[in-house]
Amino acid sequence: MQFNFKIASTLALILLIGCRPQTSELRRRCAEAEKKGVAFLANSQKSSGGFTTYEWRVLYPDKKRTIDTPFTVTQVLYSLTFCADPAARRVREQAATYLNNQKEEPGIWRHGGKTDHVPPDVDDTALGWVGLKRVGQSIPPDAVSAVRATRNPDGLFYTWIGDPSTWIHIDTKEIDAVVNLNVLLLFGIVHQHDDVVCNYLVNEVENDGFRRGSVYYPSPLAFTYALSRAYAEGGVECLKKAVPKIRDATLALQEKDGGWGPDYETALGVLTLLNLGEKGAPIDRAITLLVSRQMSDGGWALSTVYTGANTWANGRYIYGSRDFTTALCIEALSKYLRQ
């Protein structure tokens, strides 16, 4: 037994020593990729502080048009708060200025900005304040109250803010699970809770409803990321019982190359695991793939991030942004480097 123990100990030491250079090299490549990604965002950021988002119809993928939306800015701002690269600070400052300029009373946002004819929505509003809070701004109670009042008869959150009888140009009143997770993230940050919404979301995990995607987020990984973020960054403890299944499901969906499909979904997958404290080979493989997929200009590829509801005769609207995806990839690299 003593002899076997020495052999096992020796082999373990050899493996540990052998892994150190590889891990060190990956961290070096991560730091370089993070720096290049931030430079990409700095170069693509508009003078207003906004970023480019594309809109297209599912039936007409070659007919894309650019739009200006606070939603992309909320993700860039949030993701870059985890980044230690000094150049990220300027991007964050401009993003925060943009959001403050697009904000309406009592502290809410519309998807298309102030001039949009679509009503303000809880997704943009929740994530806008989550990002601004991380750069030191206080969340006004009236904004939280406006979100909290936007409920259906079952106590779940609509996507749109205000009296439903006043809503025009909306695509659906269906409840979106990811939107509700983002509301819980906001509530967690201001130390509020909502058991009705939390129970609904935990049930979505237990009955595998999250695997089908949601109204506006077709990828189940958007749900896993939003849940992991609300739990880890928002301190939403009522989601704890769903964490083991979300971790297992995310690991099971990982592909042989280390990813979860396109760059956007791969970033969501690895961020889910990082937020839930995962370490080791699955993370290393995913990060290695993300680094290898970074494009020559420092950004990552365009893909579907979210959609409109599936209610249009000519196919639903699709939305994507290289800046959005790049921000998520930078967040993943930054969190990996902090491990």
The pLDDT value given to residue 22: 61
- Segment 84-119, tens digit of pLDDT: 999 999 999 999 999 999 999 999 999 999 999 999
Across 271-307, b (16+ Cβ under 10 Å) vs e yields bbbbbbebeeebbbbbbbbbbebbeeebbbebbbbbb
Q: Pairing state of beta strands 60-67 and 306-307?
A: unpaired
The residue assigned the tokens 């690299």 is 333
Domain 27-337 CATH assignment equals 1.50.10.20: yes
Phi and psi torsions of 302, nearest 5°: -75, 135
- Which of 250, 239, 236 has the alpha carbon at shortest distance from 202? 239
The pLDDT value given to residue 9: 47
This prediction has a pTM of 0.93
Q: How confident is the model at residue 311 (pLDDT cuts 50, 70, 90)?
A: confident
Structure tokens, 129: 């304040």
Q: Which amino acid is at 193?
A: H
Alpha helices in 164-293 (DSSP H): 177-189, 195-206, 220-232, 243-253, 263-275, 281-293
Tell me what the pLDDT averaged over the chain comes to: 93
The whole-angstrom separation of Cα 223 and Cα 218 is: 9
Structure tokens, 154: 């079952």
The pLDDT value given to residue 157: 98
Q: Does the structure show a pLDDT above 50 at 172?
A: yes
Phi and psi torsions of 50, nearest 5°: -85, 180
How do the domains of the chain map onto residue ranges?
A: 27-337
Mean pLDDT of all residues in 232-243: 98
Stretch among 15-19, 58-62, 175-179 having the lowest mean pLDDT: 15-19
The whole-angstrom separation of Cα 298 and Cα 115 is: 32
